[in-house]
Chains A and B, each alone.
Chain A
Amino acid sequence: MKYAFLVWKNLWRRRTRTILTVLSVLIAFMLFGLLSAFNYAFTIGTDMANANRLVTIHKISLIQPLPISYLQRIRALPGVEDVTHANWFGGYYQDQRNQAPQFPVDAASYLRLYPELELPDAQREAWLADRAGMIVGSALAEQFDWSVGDRIPIQATIWTREDGGRSWEFVIDGIFTMEEGRGGDNFMLFHYDYFNEARAFGEDMVGWYVLRVADSADPAQVAAAIDAQFANSFAETKTSTERAFAESFVQQFGDIGLIVSAVLGAVFFTILLVAGNTMAHAVRERIPEMAVLKTVGFSNGSVLALVLTESIVIAVLGGSVGLGLSWLALESIPAAVSNALPGLFLPPQAIGTGLLYMLAVGVAAGILPALQAGRLTIAEALRRA
């Protein structure tokens, strides 16, 4: 405790310099917070993926549809516990910019496959019974101020109706939430049967299948069995775990993630130099004082600790405030933006990593001057004064 006072006094010795150093560390960690959020948003799909779920798509590409008849054949394979299917609808609400995903699905099996989708029982029953019903994620309901019972027109960009119309109307039967992977509930689900009967073309085709593998079965074997089942047919399949499927998307953006890490690297490099230089400067100035401290009985170790603490305090102080500011900034992002890029918030793991980085910056910036100070011989240091 007696050292705390010393550290504090030393920090305020050159007030401007300390404040400026703290501020530059603050900026660095604010950037760190923003960029981690951004990185996390890009990979959120992978985080929410479940290892026991497999995704079966057309071998050529996801945009090629598969026949609905595959459903029975997949279900019959050993090791497949449950299976459902979904489609890409690609519509928008009111404005082309509001392209939150919509999926026509087989409601009952879809809800079985995705237990993380939380929906009140009454709403679940209502949706299952309502052919033209839809359930929407809470993030969307919030953004557009929707509530249960609202009639929502969705404009199709792909699926014209048989009557030539492009507007599809759905009644909101329920609003679902997802406990984990906050911000991931920005989509809408409606009934495949209703969609299939009313669309002008592409009948009896689905976008992809999702299946759950029995605990006793090996997912890799099941995936291989499915693909073998449809080999040499006109629609061959490619089955992978949900995680691998999500990762392949992230990898497709590839280079953008790389640039983000490069930016982070550049920021840290800069900040480290600024802080390091300032610390070294502050210690060099005080060499005679440290000699005095040693003369009155401070050990080498405690002088070293004093200097190091000072630099860690600067890093942690600036870093925490910066991280806090980035959290504030991210929390105040309007819903329209956060629904376009779900998961844009400060990920909890970034706080841990951030703290580690703060300590690392503090130690790296302070270690050389601290060692220098610890090794000082009294006579020499006093002579310099």
Chain B
Amino acid sequence: MNVVRQLVAVSGMNIRSIPARRGSSAVAVLGVAAVVGVFAAVLSMATGFQRTVTSAGSEDVAVVLRAGSTTELNSGLGIEQTRIVAGAPGVARGEDGTPLASSELYVVVDLPKKATNTPANVPLRGIEPSGLDVRDKVSLTAGRMFAPGRNEIVVGRGAQLQFAGLELGESVQFGQSSWEVVGVFEADGAVTESELWCDVRALQSAYRRGNTFQSVRVKLAGADGFEQLQTALAADPRLDVDVERETDYYAEQSRTLTQFIKWVGYPVSLLMGIGAVFGALNTMYSSVAARTREIATLRALGFGALPVAVSTLLESLLLALIGGVIGAAVTYAVFNGYTVSTLDGSTFSQVVFAFAVTPQLLVQGLVAALVIGFFGGLLPAIRAARLPVVTALRAL
């Protein structure tokens, strides 16, 4: 009981006197704030990208590509094959009995990035009218859908924000063909929003692709739709295709870049964290040094070594926590929802995504701050406890 009361008294005094050590305390706070800020910012890029790409997928939709292709860009399917896929068992059908399947063509076009006015690879996807049936999350927010056979495009909101010339009513030139922007769609911020869509037939003729496609997206019927489809496609000798759930397909697409960012982000944050521990150690040692007389006086009055040590540790933890909160708050304010675009190696096209400073990241950041505070305060706390009372008092 006595120890607790002493602890409260010493800690209170210690913390109230922090303003007297403003300069060096601010250093520790800033150091920790920088670490937490950088950590949360870099990793929010990874989570944002991952969220953008994976949220585009849906469990009950399958993507069919030519066997061996890793992405749509590499794939190629003839019209006979896409018809067989659409008619296969396991594919859901609409009210009129037509299969909910969209044969699609995926190409890359050059558009200037608004921020830098430099050319960027933007994905242009030709879809069939049923393309909307296999994408539940997509909704048209402005204008109208493209008309079949016409050179008209609807643009994702993300693409519209990042790339120039995509306002409603404007025309964009791809090679020799000109396309009019007639609509804007949203898809809960998913990677789909980085794309431009048009009628697949119009795209085939503009790109001289004859009657070829790159992928088929199908809505799966019932719980075992995927297994049915997979078995049927594998058994058909006319086909040589891979079929994947859309969720798995997108998870694979996001893996490389996400891992890469984490691979950079964690070690960099760890190193910075170690740097911040050194900073905190310096601050706390000088705090103990500044309070030498005070500590010695307390000890002479009968206060125990433990409360003195713990109070030093508490001071360090408090400073680190303040730093952590500042870092987290600044990062959240600046980066959360901050939209950027980058070239995704697997699709060779731009992905527009928003940084996601998630609660988990913030908690991780604060835990890191406390760990820094703990290690930064431990040794100085021990020194404070071991301060030889008589020598210290003689310094008076």
Chain A positions within 8 Å of B, measured between CB atoms, are 16-17, 20-21, 23-24, 27-28, 30-31, 34-35, 38, 58-64, 90, 96, 155-158, 160, 164, 166, 201, 232, 234, 236, 238, 248-249, 251-256, 259, 262-263, 266-267, 269-271, 273-274, 277-278, 280-281
Whether B147 is near chain A, meaning CB under 8 Å from some CB there, is: no
With a cutoff of 8 Å between Cβ atoms, the chain B residues found around residue A155 in the complex are 68
Chain B positions within 8 Å of A, measured between CB atoms, are 23-24, 27, 30-31, 34-35, 37-38, 41-42, 45, 66-70, 73-74, 76, 107-110, 113, 115-116, 118-121, 174-176, 207-208, 240, 264, 267-268, 271-272, 274-276, 278-279, 281-282, 285-286, 340-343, 348, 350
Assuming the A-B contacts A59-B175, A158-B74, are A251 and B272 also in contact, with contact meaning beta carbons closer than 8 angstroms in the complex?
no
B376 — nearest CB in chain A belongs to which residue?
A20
With a cutoff of 8 Å between Cβ atoms, the chain A residues found around residue B176 in the complex are 232, 234, 236
Contact A34 B268 (CB under 8 A): yes
Contact A267 B272 (CB under 8 A): yes
Contact B264 A273 (CB under 8 A): no
With a cutoff of 8 Å between Cβ atoms, the chain A residues found around residue B45 in the complex are 256, 259
Contact A274 B343 (CB under 8 A): no
B279 — nearest CB in chain A belongs to which residue?
A274
Tell me the complex Cα distance, A223–B296, Å: 81
Contact A255 B121 (CB under 8 A): no
Tell me the complex Cα distance, A17–B342, Å: 43
Contact B118 A266 (CB under 8 A): no
A329 — nearest CB in chain B belongs to which residue?
B267
Contact B350 A277 (CB under 8 A): no
With a cutoff of 8 Å between Cβ atoms, the chain A residues found around residue B271 in the complex are 27, 30-31, 34
* New contact pairs (15) apart from A59-B110, A252-B121, CB-CB < 8 Å: A24-B275, A27-B275, A30-B271, A34-B271, A58-B175, A158-B76, A234-B208, A236-B176, A248-B119, A254-B113, A255-B341, A263-B41, A270-B275, A277-B24, A281-B286
Contact A251 B118 (CB under 8 A): yes
How far, in Å, is B44 (CB) from chain A's closest CB?
10
Total contacts A-B at CB 8 Å: 152
Tell me the complex Cα distance, A31–B107, Å: 39
Contact B42 A248 (CB under 8 A): no
How far, in Å, is A329 (CB) from chain B's closest CB?
9
A262 — nearest CB in chain B belongs to which residue?
B41
With a cutoff of 8 Å between Cβ atoms, the chain B residues found around residue A60 in the complex are 107-110, 174-175, 207
Tell me the complex Cα distance, A63–B150, Å: 24
Tell me the complex Cα distance, A266–B334, Å: 14
Contact B70 A267 (CB under 8 A): no
A280 — nearest CB in chain B belongs to which residue?
B23
Tell me the complex Cα distance, A281–B66, Å: 68
> Looking at B176, B207, B278, which has the most chain A CB atoms within 10 Å of its CB?
B278
Contact A20 B281 (CB under 8 A): yes
Assuming the A-B contacts A158-B74, A256-B342, A274-B282, are A28 and B275 also in contact, with contact meaning beta carbons closer than 8 angstroms in the complex?
yes
> Looking at B120, B240, B271, which has the most chain A CB atoms within 10 Å of its CB?
B271
Contact A16 B285 (CB under 8 A): yes
Contact A267 B74 (CB under 8 A): no
> Looking at A90, A155, A263, A266, which has the most chain B CB atoms within 10 Å of its CB?
A263
Tell me the complex Cα distance, A34–B68, Å: 36
Q: Which of A20, A236, A249, A271 contacts B175 (CB 8 A)?
A: A236
Contact B342 A20 (CB under 8 A): no
Tell me the complex Cα distance, A166–B241, Å: 13
* 15 A/B residue pairs, CB under 8 Å, sorted by A: A17-B286, A20-B278, A20-B279, A27-B275, A60-B175, A61-B121, A63-B73, A158-B76, A166-B67, A234-B208, A252-B121, A254-B115, A256-B342, A267-B38, A274-B27
Q: Which of B38, B68, B113, B342 contacts A266 (CB 8 A)?
A: B38
With a cutoff of 8 Å between Cβ atoms, the chain B residues found around residue A17 in the complex are 282, 285-286
Contact B69 A61 (CB under 8 A): no
B27 — nearest CB in chain A belongs to which residue?
A277
Contact B110 A27 (CB under 8 A): no
With a cutoff of 8 Å between Cβ atoms, the chain A residues found around residue B34 in the complex are 266-267, 269-270
With a cutoff of 8 Å between Cβ atoms, the chain B residues found around residue A59 in the complex are 110, 175
Q: Which of A201, A251, A281 contacts B116 (CB 8 A)?
A: A251
